[in-house]
Amino acid sequence: MDIVTVGFLVFGFLIMIISFILEGGHITALLAPTAAMIVFGGTVATVGVSFPASTLKKLPKIFGVLFKKHDGNLVKLIIYFKEVAYKTRKDGLLSLENDLSDNNMDPFIKKALQLIVDGTDPQVVKGVLELDVEAASERHKEAASMFEAAGGFSPTMGIIGTVMGLVHVLGSLEDPSSLGPKIAVAFIATLYGVGFANLAWLPIAAKLKALDNEEFKEKVLIMEAVLAIQEGVNPNTISEKLKGFLDKQQLIEFEKLDRVAG
């Protein structure tokens, strides 16, 4: 599990609640079941109307991706493909067949290597892998758009809940002593709507986009590496080319690992 994501998500809500209490508020004042029903029920309904069932069914898997620790490492990928390049130059592409039987191998790497082992034309290999990368990216963007939509609908549902609460308040003007608590409860709906939009739904959408960018970069690196291996490019030349994907800190890490591997 990605403890960092969970930790910051909990921290965001916790700091708001603590601030409220330090201002003299009582935590029970933040509990309003009817407001929660309007905001969360309304948000779920509007998102459900906005997206097809085929997309909504992916939500459990999306949450799994969101909270799963991402193990992608561009540096290790370059080291790996440099070793693969040395192996194929020495023993040929068919020497990779035994490696492809490893069930723990990344599916995209396995697919890419299988294509070149099968002797597929380089242009076909490139086309197949590019289509795979683009399709995966589109799926990820679709997932992020659901949470962006929730982040847009949630504040509106909060306002609707507040207006409904104020309508109820205005119908009870004969009891002035009860107006304060009723108005406070009415505004809890707005708090729920705006709070969850900015502390959960929109940050989740942003995280999914960031994960998509990381995966896109990894897959492009894999594609470039595999195509270079298929062409028989020198392993050192391949690693020099792939180093273009790394930032300064990653370059330092690569140099250390490369010396150890060498």
Q: Could you read off the pLDDT of 174-232 as tens digits, one per residue? A: 666 667 777 877 899 999 999 999 999 999 999 999 999 999 999 999 999 999 999 99
3-state secondary structure of 120: coil
- Condensed to tens digits (0 to 9), the pLDDT of residues 146-180 reads 999 999 999 999 999 999 888 877 776 666 666 77
More confidently predicted of 4 and 239:
239
pTM here?
0.85
In three-state form (DSSP H/G/I as H, E/B as E, the rest C), the secondary structure along 131-187 is HHHHHHHHHHHHHHHHHHHHHHHHHHHHHHHHHHHHHHHHCCCCCHHHHHHHHHHHH
pLDDT score of 38: 94
pLDDT at 1 over 70: no
Q: Where are the domains of the chain?
A: 1-31, 32-74+123-261
Q: How confident is the model at residue 80, as a pLDDT?
A: 92
Plot region of 52 (φ>0 → left; ψ -120 to 50 → alpha; else → beta): beta
Looking at residue 64, its pLDDT comes to 82
Report the share of the chain in percent with pLDDT over 70.
94
CA atoms of 241 and 238, how far apart (whole Å): 5
Percent of the chain with pLDDT over 90: 59
> Residue 75 to residues 111, 164, 194, 223, 234: CA-CA distances in angstroms?
21, 55, 40, 15, 18
Report the C-alpha gap between 200 and 196 in whole angstroms.
5
